[in-house]
Amino acid sequence: MTHTLVAFHAHPDDEALLTSGTMARAAAQGHRVVLVVATDGDLGLASRAYGGSGDLGGRRLEELRRSATALGVSRLVYLGYADSGLEGDPPPDPPDRARFVRAPLEEAAARLALVLAEENASVLLSYDRNGGYGHRDHVRVHEVGARAAQLAGTPRVLQATVPRDTIARAVDLAARFYRFPPEFDREAFGRAFSARDEITHRVSVRRFAAAKRAAMRAHASQASADGNADRTLAAFLRIPRPLFDVVFGREWYVDPARPAGLPVAGDVFEGLP
């Protein structure tokens, strides 16, 4: 039996990092995959070559379309909000739309619930309660996704995450070869994402690493930087393929409704009618 999987993300490129393997796997299995993005990422960091035109958001949505094609996405939806930014107070709202973090919860949830209902979605991919590393738009995705699923009656909500101990080990390994800037907070990773014992789904996506890498590569603006600055996405794309396949060969989720004591599932559709 086939299902519809809806992946809900804050900005273009988030899907490539957190859920692209799961999306590609579902599409290859014959399931319908829908990608919903809340904002156009117009406040994302990018070199002047990409952001100088004043339409970074439009460029990032075009990159998102290329990523969606690489992953086998059947439908792409932009909810129409503006990026809230990462640091400091959110900038004023543009004349035609609200920053996502300022959007009323019920209004934003209703927009997403409409997509879930239209698609008769079986599974919604959202974010964990920490919003991963804490970006305010990611936290808002968690809140909006949970409420939208209630409104639409979506059977399963899986919160995309990473075991925080896995990230901490990766950071410690990277520190042997890469000098982090002085403001880098190693201890912040002890509070980000999810504890390993919270993980309910661990999905093997190694066979779809090529699609995941293609999705990352589609977001060229987010791998760019001026001067000697380095970007995380660019660093990921420099990893040689065999090692890349291992590093990005699994994706993790938390199902807050899953009964305790069950073994970790390997398929996001496991147990659905």
pLDDT per residue rounded down to tens, the chain (273 residues): 899 999 999 999 999 999 999 999 999 999 999 999 999 999 887 777 665 566 889 999 999 999 999 999 999 999 999 999 988 899 999 999 999 999 999 999 999 999 999 999 999 999 999 998 889 999 999 999 999 999 999 999 999 999 988 777 766 665 665 565 565 566 666 678 898 999 999 999 999 999 999 999 999 988 876 665 567 788 788 888 888 899 899 999 999 999 989 999 999 999 998
Tokens 């990026």 belong to residue: 83
CA angle 187-191-194, nearest 5°?
135
Q: Domain 4-162+196-254 maps to which CATH number in 3.40.50.10320, 2.60.200.30, 3.30.70.1400, 3.30.160.100?
A: 3.40.50.10320
Which pLDDT does position 189 carry in this prediction?
Answer: 66
Which pLDDT does position 37 carry in this prediction?
Answer: 98
Which pLDDT does position 114 carry in this prediction?
Answer: 98
C-alpha distances out from residue 238 to 177, 216, 223, 229, 241, Å: 14, 11, 11, 15, 9
Which pLDDT does position 181 carry in this prediction?
Answer: 56
Torsion of CA 139, 155, 117, 93, to 10 degrees: 0
Q: Pairing between strand 250-254 and 156-161?
A: antiparallel
Alpha-carbon gap, residue 24 to 165, rounded angstroms: 26
Which pLDDT does position 53 carry in this prediction?
Answer: 62
Domain boundaries, the chain: 4-162+196-254
* pTM (2 d.p.): 0.92
Which pLDDT does position 142 carry in this prediction?
Answer: 98
